[in-house]
Amino acid sequence: MDRPAPRIEREGLAGRRTVGPIDASQVPRFAGPATFARLPRADEVPGWTVAVAGVPFDSGVSYRPGARFGPAAVREASRLLRPYHPGLDVEPFAVVQVVDAGDIVATPFDIEEAIGQVGAGAMALIEGGRRLVAVGGDHTISLPLLRAHARNEGPLALVHFDAHLDTWDTYFGAPYTHGTPFRRAFEEGLLAEDHCLHVGTRGPLYGATDLTNDAGMGFRVVTSAQMDELGPAGVATRIRERVGDAPLYLSVDIDVLDPAHAPGTGTPEAGGLSSRELLGVLRRLVGLRLVGADVVEVAPAYDHAEITAIAASHVVYELIGLLAIRAAQASSTPDGSNASEDRVSHLAPGVSDGL
């Protein structure tokens, strides 16, 4: 392309201009380089509020490797995301400036060194209250991401979507793996007591002590099977009750989805959520104090027809929607008026029937 790509520009919060995706009516979605949702790179705009960043690291996996290619696959699958979210009634890229901040680079040869690099990279991105949705990478990366966010926000309410608990102690004697991040986070005091919850767990465990150890760290569980009785609205209610007013960090292991909805992942387990159920839960979390999020464990070598990467790209879009609404709520004036009200009419939790 010999001239700058035409982008959708809008008036966002406080009258600030936001630079959105490349206009798909002028450049087809399949053309040009893949940034997330064809958004501008961080270096193409003067400032930003929400960034998507890749963390291509998978040296902490215990079974199938390949999540290092997750960020590229999710960006590629995100080309079809459009600017308006009807379920949340928000244009997330218009309300706040959203960018693709590229990848946080970490060594594939030393897990502890990589954890330090991911933490430093995340700290730089979230400086000054900016928000980050990190795309993994394996679940090891959640530990440094939680450290970075807890440094800014204090102990965090962790809502963890995953087939697995990820609170094991060690694996082959290794303390830092994709099966251990939340035990380390608990030990380091990064988690808010009585506010943490796993959602979607299922499958065989090493023993019943896995569950009692996990409960001993203060986690509660909504299993995948409970989705049948509760439905997305009921699960969201459980989450809202558990999180309350605490600063919320959402970690989504894509293997929370059934292998039919996410075959491209490292540790698949039968009996999982549908992508519709997961999206339905996430969009009912509007209004909670979301401060950061990650979407991990997309391993495209095992994917088919981009099923997993498409699901992950929509999960990231939901998370950006929640962060944009949160930013709009935070900037609302006491009389309720808002510079971008036309782009966020549903500022109250609960949202619409059509979601």
Task: Kindly state the smallest distance separating residue 58's Cβ from Mn ion, in Å.
Answer: 12
214, 253, 258, 277: which one contacts Mn ion (CB under 5 A)?
Answer: 253
Task: Kindly state the smallest distance separating residue 145's Cβ from Mn ion, in Å.
Answer: 13
Task: Kindly state the smallest distance separating residue 218's Cβ from Mn ion, in Å.
Answer: 18
Task: Kindly state the smallest distance separating residue 297's Cβ from Mn ion, in Å.
Answer: 6
Distance of CA 316 to the CA centre of its chain: 5
Query: Nearer Cβ to Mn ion, position 164 or 343?
Result: 164
Residue 58 sits in the site that holds Mn ion (CB under 5 A): no
Task: Kindly state the smallest distance separating residue 161's Cβ from Mn ion, in Å.
Answer: 9
Binding mask 132-161 for Mn ion (x = CB under 5 A): -------x----------------------
Query: Nearer Cβ to Mn ion, position 102 or 203?
Result: 203
58, 100, 166, 303: which one contacts Mn ion (CB under 5 A)?
Answer: 166
Cα–Cα distance for residue pair 217/135, rounded to 1 Å: 26
- Residue length of the chain: 355
Residue 294 sits in the site that holds Mn ion (CB under 5 A): no
For strand 7-11 and strand 17-22, is the pairing parallel, antiparallel, or unpaired? antiparallel
Options 214-222, 253-261, 282-290, 345-353: segment touching Mn ion (CB under 5 A): 253-261
Cα–Cα distance for residue pair 200/109, rounded to 1 Å: 31
Query: Nearer Cβ to Mn ion, position 257 or 285?
Result: 257
Give how many residues touch Mn ion by CB under 5 A: 7
153, 162, 294, 303: which one contacts Mn ion (CB under 5 A)?
Answer: 162
Task: Kindly state the smallest distance separating residue 121's Cβ from Mn ion, in Å.
Answer: 20
Question: DSSP per residue over 324-341, as a string?
Answer: HHHHHHHH--TTS--TTG
Query: Nearer Cβ to Mn ion, position 39 or 61?
Result: 61
Cβ partners under 8 Å of residue 264, min gap 6: 73, 254, 298, 299, 300, 301, 302, 303, 304, 307, 308, 309
- Write down the H helix ranges in the chain: 70-77, 92-95, 111-125, 142-153, 181-187, 209-216, 226-243, 275-283, 307-331
91, 100, 255, 303: which one contacts Mn ion (CB under 5 A)?
Answer: 255
Residue 163 sits in the site that holds Mn ion (CB under 5 A): yes
Query: Nearer Cβ to Mn ion, position 174 or 233?
Result: 174
Cβ partners under 8 Å of residue 324, min gap 6: 50, 90, 92, 93, 95, 96, 98, 344
Cα–Cα distance for residue pair 251/290, rounded to 1 Å: 11
Q: Quick one: the chain helix, strand, coil %, rounded to 5?
A: 40, 20, 45
Task: Kindly state the smallest distance separating residue 253's Cβ from Mn ion, in Å.
Answer: 4
Which residues are near Mn ion by CB under 5 A?
A: 139, 162-164, 166, 253, 255
